[in-house]
Amino acid sequence: GAAFLAGLAIGYWNDLDEVKSKAVIEREFRPSIETTERNYRYSGWKKAVARAQAWEDHE
């Protein structure tokens, strides 16, 4: 994806339609856990990130 967008940005591809015509989806990933459990875990992850961002640098 990023390579296609970079090519579009530098003019390698003419337009977004050309990029879309070249893209091939080889594999699709789907969640293996229920939405409720996934949301619970994501909420915990966001809390952990917020706490880590609040750490002081003691160096």
Per-residue pLDDT of 11-33, as tens digits, reads 999 999 999 998 888 999 998 99
% of the chain residues with pLDDT over 90: 71
Alpha carbon 27 to its chain centroid, in Å, reads 16
Work out the pLDDT band at 36, boundaries 50, 70, 90. Answer: very high
Nearest to 19 by CA among 4, 29, 39: 4
